[in-house]
Chains A and B, each alone.
Chain A
Amino acid sequence: MSADDRPAARAPWLWAALYLAGSAIVVTLKLTDAIGAWTGLILFVLTMGLLIPMVRSSERACHPNPAIKRYNRRVLGASFGYVLGLGIAISLFKNVALPAPAVFAIALLPTLPTFVMIWAMARYLAEETDEYLRYRSVQAALAGLGIMLVIGIFWGFLETFELVPHVPAWWVLPVWAIGLGIAQLWIWARDR
């Protein structure tokens, strides 16, 4: 029996719900100081392990082509790297007096995995052989970019006029990813 023939043990949404619930519990424990920074990081990474069965059950249900499977694996790996890198970088920055070159180096820990995510998107567009799926992905990526620019520009001027607090520039990626997700959801609903 191949991996694709096996019955889906649980639906993807169930794994996603477990992941969200697990993350919420870890964040709550951390915010209430019930656990320390390192314990929180380890628990958060372990909770992220739930994303692996979520992606696998989603692939069993949707039968994506090889390009999409490769993209999923690359982004999943980069996400693990991002959380680990971010956790380690913040912990080191808060607890150890580091010289500027070392701070530059630890800033790269969460940065490099995000470059892998951007590379994964570029590779997907190059490897996708289905022209309509590629067109759909480009549409969604452009929609995400548009949303990111609109929010970024508006927020920037609100910040200039001292109406809102400063937001670090790395927020561009999560905002773009959320825009991408919304656009993909809209296209998915339209295509049904």
Chain B
Amino acid sequence: MNNRLRVLRAEHGWSQQDLADRLGVSRQSVNAIEKGRYDPSLPLAFSIADVFGLPIEAIFLRNGDPE
């Protein structure tokens, strides 16, 4: 699954550790999600959406969807 996490994080001027602290997860988790190596669970995806104040579908995209 593709996502816009890196772009959104950059827009907020947050490091991976900053975002990880806001989500209560490890920096490795943010890194793995950003690189598309790991698809988060629904609860974590909702947390990410809450942190950015966006709906989930504005952050996570189906494979093939334009970013």
Contacts and interface: CB of A to CB of B under 8 A. Distances in A.
Q: Do A and B bind each other?
A: yes
Interface of A: 65, 129-133, 135-136, 190-191
Q: Which 5 A-B pairs have the closest CB atoms?
A: A132-B29, A130-B26, A130-B25, A191-B28, A132-B38
Contacts of A135: 38
Interface centre among A130, A132, A133, A135 (most CB of B within 10 A): A132
Interface centre among B26, B31, B44 (most CB of A within 10 A): B26
Contacts of B31: 191
B63 interface: no
Interface string B17-28: 000000011101
B25 to A, nearest CB: 5
Contacts of A131: 25, 29, 40-41, 44
Interface string B30-62: 011100011011001000000000000000000
A190 B40 CA distance: 18
Contacts of A65: 26
A191 B30 CA distance: 11
A133 B28 contact: yes
A129 B20 CA distance: 13
Given A131-B40, A132-B29, A136-B28, 5 more contacts: A130-B29, A132-B25, A132-B28, A190-B37, A191-B28
A135 B39 CA distance: 11
Contacts of B25: 130-132
Nearest to B31: A191
B63 to A, nearest CB: 20
A63 to B, nearest CB: 10
Interface centre among A129, A130, A190 (most CB of B within 10 A): A130
Contacts of A136: 28
A41 B19 CA distance: 49
Nearest to B30: A132
A191 B26 CA distance: 12
A131 B42 CA distance: 11
Contacts of B40: 131-132
B1 to A, nearest CB: 14
A132 B25 CA distance: 8
Nearest to A136: B28
